[in-house]
Chains A and B, each alone.
Chain A
C-alpha cells in the first residue's frame, strides 16, 4: 500500500528547480509531504486534501491531482537547505492510516 515516489534521486545546483512525484493506485483522500535530513527525524512540510488544491512552504509548493491520484512537489530556486529525503504519505478512502513511500533523495550542490 506504499505510494510510489519518483525519481528516486535528484541532484541539482543551487537556484535550479526540480519536481518530485508521488502516485497511488488507490483513491486518495489526502497527501502529506515530509522532509528528512540525514540522521534526523522526518519533519512535516504540508498536507494536501482532495479537491486539487495547492499549497506552499517557503519556495516549496505542491499540487494534488485527485483524478490522477498523484501529487507533485515543486522545489523552486533551490537552496542548499533543501537537501534531504522527501517522503510522501497517503491516506486512502476507507482507510484510517498514513502510509509513506520510499522517498526521493534530493541533493542541492553549490
Chain B
C-alpha cells in the first residue's frame, strides 16, 4: 500500500531533550516536506527536500534540522525542544517538485508536547 509513515504518532517530552521524528514513504517520491499545524495558523512549512541531499528552509525552520540521506526517509530533528514547538507535525511527499509539484501525500501526523 502506498503510504507515508511517521513515528512516533504521539510524544511527550521535556525541554532540551533531543528527539527525532521519522518519516518514510514507499512511493519513490522525490519531494518531501515537513509541516507544523497550530490552531489558527494553518499548515506552515518547516523544511522541504527536492531530492536526496537537497534540503531547504520553509517558513518556520528555526529550532529544527532535517536530513535526506535516502530517497525514502526524511527525519525531523529537534536538537533542543522548547514548549513553543508543541504542535501537530505532518510529513508529506509528492512525485515531482517545483512547478510540476504534484499531489502531496500526507503522513498521519505526530502530536508533540514539550513540557
Residues of A within 8 A of B (CB): 1-2, 5, 29-30, 32, 34, 40-44, 47, 87, 89, 91, 93, 95-103
Q: A32-B104, A44-B104 are in contact. Are A2 and B42 (CB under 8 A)?
A: yes
Count of chain A to chain B residue pairs whose CB atoms are closer than 8 Å in the complex: 71
Most buried by B among A2, A32, A96: A96
Q: A41-B106, A44-B103, A98-B104 are in contact. Are A87 and B98 (CB under 8 A)?
A: no
Cβ 8 A contact of B44, one of A2, A30, A42: A2
Cβ 8 A contact of A89, one of B50, B104, B108: B104
Interface CB pairs A-B, < 8 A, 8:
A30-B99, A30-B101, A32-B103, A96-B98, A97-B98, A98-B94, A100-B42, A100-B45
User: Sorted from nearest, which 10 A-B pairs have the closest CB atoms?
Assistant: A102-B42, A41-B106, A96-B98, A100-B43, A44-B103, A103-B42, A91-B101, A97-B48, A29-B99, A98-B101
At the interface, yes or no: B41 with Cβ under 8 Å from chain A? yes
By a CB distance below 8 angstroms, the chain A residues around B40 are 102
Within 8 A of A (CB), among B51-67: 56, 58-59
Q: How far is the CA of A32 from the CA of B44 in the complex (A)?
A: 15
Cβ 8 A contact of B59, one of A5, A32, A44, A99: A99
Q: Are A97 and B45 in contact (CB under 8 A)?
A: yes
Interface size class of B (residues with CB under 8 A): 20 to 34
Chain B's closest residue to A50 (CB) is B99
A-B contact sample (4 more), CB < 8 A, given A42-B106, A89-B104, A96-B98: A34-B104, A42-B43, A87-B43, A89-B43
Q: How far is the CA of A32 from the CA of B43 in the complex (A)?
A: 13
